[in-house]
Chain A
Amino acid sequence: MSDHSIESRSASLATDGPKPIDGQAPLVEATRLVKIYQDKEHVPVTALNEVDFRAAPGEFTAIAGPSGSGKTTLLNLIGGLDKPTSGSVVVAGQDLAAMSRNQLATFRLNNLGFIFQAYNLIPVLTAEENAEFNLLLQGVPAHERHEQVVREFEDLGIDKELIHRRPAKLSGGQQQRVAIARALVSRPKLILADEPTANLDSKTGARLLDKMRNLNERTGITFLFSTHDPMVMERARRLVILRDGQIAEDDVRG
């Protein structure tokens, strides 16, 4: 795709606004999204500049781009972890900008799953407790939680012996599997994965990506990745390239 066609596509999205994707209502609709940060010297830095982005349910999409291109910022805004300077984000029909902190927390609990580069498990909880964290917050009964977590652990190839271990006693790959289990176990509509393979060796990373792709195909859960990793980009069915806070390329591979 030429630079000219990218710009025209971006401009077209900006003017026309979100539209149904292949006849489906979009799960994510980000419109004219602008995010300006202040750096340490209080100089404004534009992380996202009038970005329009839509994702349909069931997508397995990688958002890639060089460092500072705005991919993590876009993911954070879609996840309601951050507020845009201007523009709107609608996820699952809900306008995130209109929500209070409590409403956002509840929305994330019931609709979103997060996978972070640094795993970010809660250190005082065991692998099982970390995985069932969202279910606990949702008030799911103990036996159901246990069943779901065990099933997820089996799917992700987590050894049963590990379920009572705390994160400090798990390897990086094991921790990331638990983090993925935590994100998946409550069957959210959308999983946002920020550089999920960055701290893993290539073999472990590839295996986990295959698992996630498999889950996406089986369950229809939408995955949005922010990544530098070619393995993620290879496996994604849609690749969005961000550059200087704008969508430079949007390649749907079918």
Chain B
Amino acid sequence: MSILIKIAWRNIWRNPRRSWVLITALAVAVFSFLGSVAYIDGFSIQMIDSAINLQGGHIQVSGRGYHKNPTIRTYVPDVARVERIIAENDAIRYALQTTTPGMINSAEQASGVVITGVDPVREVEVSSVAESIIEGSYLAPEGEANEVVMGAMLAEQLNVLLGEKVVLMANDLDNEVGAGAYRIVGLYRTNSSDFDKTNVYLHLNQARNLIGYTAEQASTVTLRLDPGLDPVETAIHLQTTLDAADLEILTWHERSPLLVMMNEMMNLANIFLVIILFTAIAFTLINSFIMVIFERIREIGIMSANGVRPGQVRLMLYLEAVFIVLLGTAVGGAIAVVLITWWSAVGLDLSAFAEGLSSFGAASVLYPYIHWGHILNGFVMIFVLVLLAVLYPAVKASRFETVDAINHV
């Protein structure tokens, strides 16, 4: 084996120009693959983060049927018990919300919105809205004032400024229209333009008053998990612990099937990318290796005469291919990792496509992300494709008749 490794390695450098062309082609393909995967993964992560940060955390607990039909009549039963059980796990942060569709009115405009009541102290631990404030401040910790926080785009649409008042209207549990005037204390801007145009935040108690909830009622409990805690496993555990048939405990995967599907499609796109890029490379490899074996027919014959078995001839050619792939991967991978690490720090400004990206919940500055699992899968596929590419020349080389090979001119 060691002699075959030695021969394979030295064979690569018999024609350095040809080897470097192959290595460079592989390096470019690996770089393109890693760059694309990193951007796709970065985009995917931003969308998922948006969904988790703005729309219900990792897990959301609600009354059964709330997800399909989110009305104020479906609320979390015995929310105090739910809170108590969730609070037992230190790795989970949670906050209560009331949510209702309603209208927001300024002096000039009106718009349909989702009115969410939150406990500002707890909410900042499960939602990124407070971090997205670009003007003013988030709701004050004490929840008595008539304060509202809204998207800057919505404020623009309503033609209102920070500090001005708006009127919020919503139906209460008795189907009576409740209304109140609220002063705008903060304007936020998130990655999602749709979200910014349709969501306003009040103090939890203010919202409860608006829709006729008692101080013990809430529409949802949003959970944010510490890293390392799996949402699916945690949801299953909670389901068992809470043991309430009238509760609905959903992870973000279950609440956002479209997002999950998009994520899967992006992973599929990664696979197609690898196949397309490396199929092209595979044909270059096939061509090169056919040239290689025709140049070395006599040598292969001599090796065979001296006792090298057909399988060892194939192994030797495979080793050459593997060395070339390793070199190409190392060169392309090193350049890609350095550049992606830099891009992931500074981001890629895609302001020109900001509107389109925003509709997907992605920011106009994309931060590529190196997902080692996806990269490993890609590399496995590269190796499989390359080994498949070298299969034909390797089998051909191992089937030369020894006597013909030795006499080959």
Residues on A lying within 8 angstroms of B by beta carbon are 76, 79, 81-82, 101-102, 105-106, 108-110, 114, 116, 120, 122-125, 129, 133-134, 136-137, 182
Instruction: Count residues of chain B with CB under 8 A from any CB of chain A.
Output: 23
* Residue in A106, A110, A133 with the greatest tally of chain B CB atoms within 10 Å: A133
Residues of chain B lying within 8 A (CB to CB) of residue A108: 305-307
Complex Cα distance, B405 from A81, in Å, reads: 10
Q: Point out the residue from B10, B302, B308 that lies within 8 Å of A124, measured CB to CB.
A: B10
Residues of chain B lying within 8 A (CB to CB) of residue A182: 306
Residue of A nearest to B11 (CB): A124
Within 8 A of A (CB), among B374-409: 401-403, 406
Residue of B nearest to A103 (CB): B309
Residues of chain A lying within 8 A (CB to CB) of residue B298: 120
Residues of chain A lying within 8 A (CB to CB) of residue B14: 123-124
Complex Cα distance, B404 from A82, in Å, reads: 9
Q: Are B7 and A124 in contact (CB under 8 A)?
A: yes
Q: Are B302 and A105 in contact (CB under 8 A)?
A: no
5 A-B pairs closest in CB distance: A109-B307, A124-B10, A82-B403, A136-B3, A105-B309
* Residue in B299, B306, B308 with the greatest tally of chain A CB atoms within 10 Å: B306
Given contacts A82-B401, A120-B302, A124-B14, contact A106 B307 (CB under 8 A): yes
Residues of chain B lying within 8 A (CB to CB) of residue A134: 306-307
Asked if B112 is at the interface (CB within 8 A of a chain A CB), the reply is no
Q: Are B403 and A81 in contact (CB under 8 A)?
A: yes
CB distance from A217 to the nearest CB of B (A): 25
| Given pairs A76-B403, A122-B7, A133-B306, 9 additional interface contacts (CB within 8 A) | A81-B305, A101-B309, A105-B308, A105-B310, A106-B307, A109-B307, A120-B298, A120-B299, A137-B308
Q: Can you spell out 26 A-B residue pairs with CB atoms less than 8 angstroms apart?
A: A76-B403, A81-B402, A82-B402, A101-B309, A102-B309, A102-B310, A105-B304, A105-B307, A105-B309, A108-B307, A109-B306, A110-B307, A116-B302, A116-B406, A120-B298, A120-B302, A120-B406, A123-B14, A124-B7, A124-B11, A124-B14, A125-B7, A125-B10, A129-B3, A134-B307, A182-B306
CB distance from A106 to the nearest CB of B (A): 7
Residues of chain A lying within 8 A (CB to CB) of residue B237: none
Residue of B nearest to A77 (CB): B403
Within 8 A of A (CB), among B181-240: none
Q: Point out the residue from A79, A81, A101, A123 that lies within 8 Å of B310, measured CB to CB.
A: A101
Q: Are B306 and A123 in contact (CB under 8 A)?
A: no
Asked if B371 is at the interface (CB within 8 A of a chain A CB), the reply is no
Residue of B nearest to A124 (CB): B10
Asked if B2 is at the interface (CB within 8 A of a chain A CB), the reply is yes
CB distance from B330 to the nearest CB of A (A): 22
Asked if B103 is at the interface (CB within 8 A of a chain A CB), the reply is no
Residue of B nearest to A114 (CB): B305
Within 8 A of A (CB), among B1-45: 2-3, 6-7, 10-11, 14
Given contacts A81-B403, A101-B310, contact A133 B304 (CB under 8 A): no
Residues of chain A lying within 8 A (CB to CB) of residue B406: 81, 116, 120
Asked if B153 is at the interface (CB within 8 A of a chain A CB), the reply is no
Q: Are A122 and B307 in contact (CB under 8 A)?
A: no
Q: Are A123 and B308 in contact (CB under 8 A)?
A: no
CB distance from B182 to the nearest CB of A (A): 81
CB distance from B392 to the nearest CB of A (A): 18
Residue of A nearest to B309 (CB): A105
Asked if B303 is at the interface (CB within 8 A of a chain A CB), the reply is yes
Complex Cα distance, B403 from A129, in Å, reads: 23
Residues of chain B lying within 8 A (CB to CB) of residue A82: 401-403
Complex Cα distance, B7 from A182, in Å, reads: 16
Residues of chain A lying within 8 A (CB to CB) of residue B304: 105
Residue of B nearest to A133 (CB): B306
CB distance from A113 to the nearest CB of B (A): 8
Q: Are A129 and B6 in contact (CB under 8 A)?
A: yes
CB distance from B349 to the nearest CB of A (A): 50
Complex Cα distance, B303 from A108, in Å, reads: 11
CB distance from B126 to the nearest CB of A (A): 64
Complex Cα distance, B2 from A12, in Å, reads: 50
Asked if B311 is at the interface (CB within 8 A of a chain A CB), the reply is yes
Complex Cα distance, B149 from A6, in Å, reads: 116
Residues of chain A lying within 8 A (CB to CB) of residue B401: 82
Q: Point out the residue from A109, A122, A129 that lies within 8 Å of B299, measured CB to CB.
A: A122
Q: Are A137 and B310 in contact (CB under 8 A)?
A: no
CB distance from B13 to the nearest CB of A (A): 8
Complex Cα distance, B407 from A82, in Å, reads: 12
Residue of B nearest to A107 (CB): B307
Per-position 1/0 for B158-191, Cβ under 8 A of A: 0000000000000000000000000000000000
Complex Cα distance, B307 from A114, in Å, reads: 10
Complex Cα distance, B305 from A133, in Å, reads: 12
Residue of A nearest to B299 (CB): A122
CB distance from B396 to the nearest CB of A (A): 14
Complex Cα distance, B306 from A182, in Å, reads: 9
Complex Cα distance, B46 from A31, in Å, reads: 79
CB distance from B264 to the nearest CB of A (A): 46
Q: Are A137 and B307 in contact (CB under 8 A)?
A: yes
Q: Are B3 and A114 in contact (CB under 8 A)?
A: no
CB distance from B199 to the nearest CB of A (A): 69
Residues of chain A lying within 8 A (CB to CB) of residue B11: 124
* Residue in B3, B305, B402 with the greatest tally of chain A CB atoms within 10 Å: B305
Within 8 A of A (CB), among B65-103: none
Complex Cα distance, B308 from A106, in Å, reads: 8
Residues of chain A lying within 8 A (CB to CB) of residue B7: 122, 124-125
CB distance from A62 to the nearest CB of B (A): 20
Residues of chain A lying within 8 A (CB to CB) of residue B6: 124-125, 129
CB distance from B317 to the nearest CB of A (A): 14
Residue of B nearest to A188 (CB): B307
Q: Are B3 and A137 in contact (CB under 8 A)?
A: yes
Q: Point out the residue from B2, B302, B311, B403 that lies within 8 Å of A122, measured CB to CB.
A: B302
Complex Cα distance, B299 from A114, in Å, reads: 14
Residues of chain B lying within 8 A (CB to CB) of residue A79: 305
CB distance from A229 to the nearest CB of B (A): 20
